[in-house]
Chains A and B, each alone.
Chain A
């Protein structure tokens, strides 16, 4: 069964027809060609597929596209502008908060949501908020440093 939905993706309105069982991740990756979000676990535990829906981080592997009807979706591709990256992107590079990069989009978007909710989080609050994202390369220390640095600067 196909259903027509409308949503904004990185600020642009999009109308699209989807199967009822299409996930938001598949919609964004396959129909919109925004492949920054990755499929890691497919069961809502690893955070690699994280997208922001109305500003909140969601596991796009486990959210139906039809449920995003009328929502604002933000992906890693929507961060920063051509000549200026988002401060989190800058900090991740500066502190070495990624190796293979497969988890990076998920971590940066989750951290962005955190900072929107709580611009001055404590270390423990950062750790809690990012607890649902895995980095198998083991960049946790550097990720903490990067996020803390952005907090410090804002």
Chain B
């Protein structure tokens, strides 16, 4: 049997069940006695609810419960308000609906047909209100308020403690970052560049829609099967809403059909639990594709960026104002705004900064986490403007980035020291991959109206800090290992990597390791499977747990065999003594006196706002990456084609090389969708493309001939075997790299995503006129 190892590709542990169609995802599961849930949603972007009458709906044969505001406002056992940062969400709308698709009522019935029939019979009288449908409308003085007031939680996230909504406005939060002396900085600058960049709202479009099965037992015990990336956060939120201790809430998470940030924090769990509680039976709710678009989106943004530069290319000052459209509910928007603000200087040393980053309430579906979390927004502006500056100063964009880019030991904007920073290596690698040096010669391939161009971009991103991951491993009597971890397998390959880490530490074969499914009754606490944090945090926790097992084995050998501990070594899954060697199972037998028993190892990783040197730490490790694109643009039509794309990501250490490659390529492809096609379109607050025909996803035919994914290794001192997180990095540079390549090809600068042929065509026509 093959020994577990790192730095080596192992067939993923989740594969066999997935390629045979046996893997059970939530919508494949049934619970005996289960009812079917359906949600009635608001047709208006903003309206007061004058009256709801569910009496006719309740009489539909097969209907077991209809849930309206009356059930949540007058039940002592329910706290109607919840939300990860502010308590601005309710299970169903209470006084107002705040976006098209806002849940108003819900039905649980014996069949889906009965539930749907009942929805049609719920009578709701609305009084329409003026709506704020974009950032401009929302921030105008005197704008209609989405929330008249917002409840704050009694305890929340440590990193967001000082962030509050601004009363009497639609500003959900305002994050400020000031550094140096901004006026002095601009005074020192030879040139000042001022640009505004925009991005639209997009949707995650995981093929598996959000779903939940909830069962509330008499006595209040709550069990939910959830499509969530953070079961422990869902557990806490449900405990708060339904006023029970967390121990009474059990969250089970099967394999997810994709997450990408769209399955963090409660989504359909509160409403499904409320339905189950009212109906007295388990309820399953599976959202339709359209409903997913009403549930969560990625923030649209407007970014105004003013940068002062010396003639030699040194960046000296930046003023940046970021407005992120967080929709009707704060969700995790405040943290997205904070992360956008932190990265508005990009991966560059800029001594003087004034950054204001706002999350803004509007009457649109809520925006939350999306792979890239705020940085894909800021980097669109930062990296586009870098090329604007490079062109104006006639400096090579690669050189401009390297001249200003972070080196090992530089100070981040928060004044903390950056360590394990493979930024420049990433830039060099992607430049090499697309043949940056030969880009002028390659232009000779221009033919008739077709022009070639190359562009690149880079980025820095933080992971959520502070955070917690706990793990338990059990060594069984036959020396097989069970891993208990709260990390959700959503396609990223976490099960396999965790098994590799624990197995490597113990020197045991991969086939003897089982990673258990996620069940909050069984696995210890983990904050979240997001922020590219699991390999680093849970990987380390599992490694520590395996080391704990080794210490116990050592103690047993020392006491049972009378060998001093310093004479005991581990190698290849055996315990080496001076004269002999022992199998783990022999040691277990010796300890327990028969074939049986368990050794339990524990590992805890807790990061804090200070590192081990007592220095400030806003991120447990840093992600660095670069991306480069080669494009072909048709001068006559504006149509363009991505010929080649290269990503280089500082992975710390590639534990499972094929897994790294999948994450890098997958993130880059998601980035291509965001860069070239994806956009949620609204008409007066109504979504006009909440389906996969009108909302265009990248398909096989859209892929460039080459996607090169390069893992750069600058080991992190605290990561397991030096590994860092990599899930998001490769996505972030894609859009600006493509925009920069288009500029390089035809000299037009697109500042609003997605980059479409029409926009290039119009810009080319403008260029002609000049």
- Which residues of A approach B to under 8 Å, CB–CB? 29, 34-43, 45-46, 48, 75-77, 79-80, 85, 89, 92-94, 96, 98-105, 108, 127-128, 130-134, 136-144
Chain A nearest CB from B40 CB (Å) reads 19
- With beta carbons under 8 angstroms apart, the residue of B12, B257, B669 that contacts A138 is B669
Which residues of A lie under 8 Å from residue B14 when comparing CB positions?
101
Chain B nearest CB from A103 CB (Å) reads 6
Chain A nearest CB from B188 CB (Å) reads 44
What are 7 A-B pairs at a CB distance below 8 A?
Answer: A41-B691, A89-B19, A102-B206, A134-B207, A134-B692, A138-B665, A141-B707
Chain B nearest CB from A85 CB (Å) reads 7
A-B contacts, CB under 8 A, total:
149
Decide yes or no whether B760 CB sits under 8 A from chain A: no
Find out whether the CB atom of A130 lies under 8 angstroms from the CB atom of B700.
yes
Chain B nearest CB from A104 CB (Å) reads 6
Chain B nearest CB from A133 CB (Å) reads 7
Which residues of B lie under 8 Å from residue A104 when comparing CB positions?
18-19
Decide yes or no whether B22 CB sits under 8 A from chain A: yes
Known: A35-B28, A43-B693. A143 touches B205 (CB 8 A): no
Which A-B residue pairs are the 6 nearest by beta carbons? A36-B21, A100-B491, A138-B669, A102-B257, A101-B18, A99-B491
Which residues of A lie under 8 Å from residue B659 when comparing CB positions?
96
Find out whether the CB atom of A144 lies under 8 angstroms from the CB atom of B493.
no
The CB with the most chain B CB atoms within 10 A, among A127, A141, A144, is that of A141
Contacts of B289-319 to chain A: CB distance below 8 A: 289
Which residues of A lie under 8 Å from residue B12 when comparing CB positions?
93, 96
- With beta carbons under 8 angstroms apart, the residue of A93, A108, A127, A138 that contacts B670 is A138
Given contacts A43-B693, A99-B491, A105-B21, 19 further A-B contacts (CB under 8 A): A35-B28, A38-B25, A40-B692, A43-B289, A43-B692, A46-B207, A93-B15, A99-B493, A99-B666, A100-B258, A100-B259, A101-B18, A102-B25, A102-B208, A103-B207, A133-B700, A137-B662, A140-B699, A140-B700
Decide yes or no whether B150 CB sits under 8 A from chain A: no
Which residues of A lie under 8 Å from residue B669 when comparing CB positions?
138, 140
Known: A36-B21, A40-B289, A139-B662. A100 touches B670 (CB 8 A): no
Chain B nearest CB from A134 CB (Å) reads 5
Cα of A131 to Cα of B21 in the assembled complex, Å: 21
Cα of A130 to Cα of B328 in the assembled complex, Å: 38
For the complex, would chain A's binding face be called helix, strand, loop or mixed by DSSP majority?
Answer: loop
Cα of A9 to Cα of B288 in the assembled complex, Å: 27
Cα of A108 to Cα of B18 in the assembled complex, Å: 11
Which residues of A lie under 8 Å from residue B244 when comparing CB positions?
none
For the complex, would chain B's binding face be called helix, strand, loop or mixed by DSSP majority?
Answer: loop
Find out whether the CB atom of B205 lies under 8 angstroms from the CB atom of A136.
yes
Which residues of A lie under 8 Å from residue B493 when comparing CB positions?
99
Chain B nearest CB from A80 CB (Å) reads 7
Cα of A6 to Cα of B525 in the assembled complex, Å: 50
- With beta carbons under 8 angstroms apart, the residue of B25, B28, B699 that contacts A134 is B699
Known: A75-B21, A144-B700. A38 touches B665 (CB 8 A): no
Which residues of B lie under 8 Å from residue A99 when comparing CB positions?
258, 491-493, 662, 666
- With beta carbons under 8 angstroms apart, the residue of A29, A85, A133 that contacts B20 is A85
Closest to A129 in B: B700
Cα of A103 to Cα of B693 in the assembled complex, Å: 17
Contacts of B191-241 to chain A: CB distance below 8 A: 204-209
Which residues of B lie under 8 Å from residue A141 when comparing CB positions?
665, 703, 707
Chain B nearest CB from A77 CB (Å) reads 5
Decide yes or no whether B470 CB sits under 8 A from chain A: no
Which residues of A lie under 8 Å from residue B700 when comparing CB positions?
127, 130-131, 133, 140, 143-144
Decide yes or no whether B122 CB sits under 8 A from chain A: no
Find out whether the CB atom of A100 lies under 8 angstroms from the CB atom of B257.
yes
- With beta carbons under 8 angstroms apart, the residue of B21, B661, B699 that contacts A77 is B21
Chain A nearest CB from B342 CB (Å) reads 27
Which residues of A lie under 8 Å from residue B23 when comparing CB positions?
101
Chain A nearest CB from B654 CB (Å) reads 13
- With beta carbons under 8 angstroms apart, the residue of B24, B258, B289, B707 that contacts A136 is B258
Decide yes or no whether B255 CB sits under 8 A from chain A: yes
Decide yes or no whether B135 CB sits under 8 A from chain A: no
Chain B nearest CB from A121 CB (Å) reads 13
Decide yes or no whether B420 CB sits under 8 A from chain A: no
Contacts of B589-605 to chain A: CB distance below 8 A: none
Find out whether the CB atom of A100 lies under 8 angstroms from the CB atom of B206.
yes
Decide yes or no whether B152 CB sits under 8 A from chain A: no
Chain A nearest CB from B44 CB (Å) reads 25
Contact indicator per residue, chain B 683-701, by CB within 8 Å of chain A (1) or not (0): 0000000011100011111
Which residues of A lie under 8 Å from residue B490 when comparing CB positions?
100
Decide yes or no whether B114 CB sits under 8 A from chain A: no
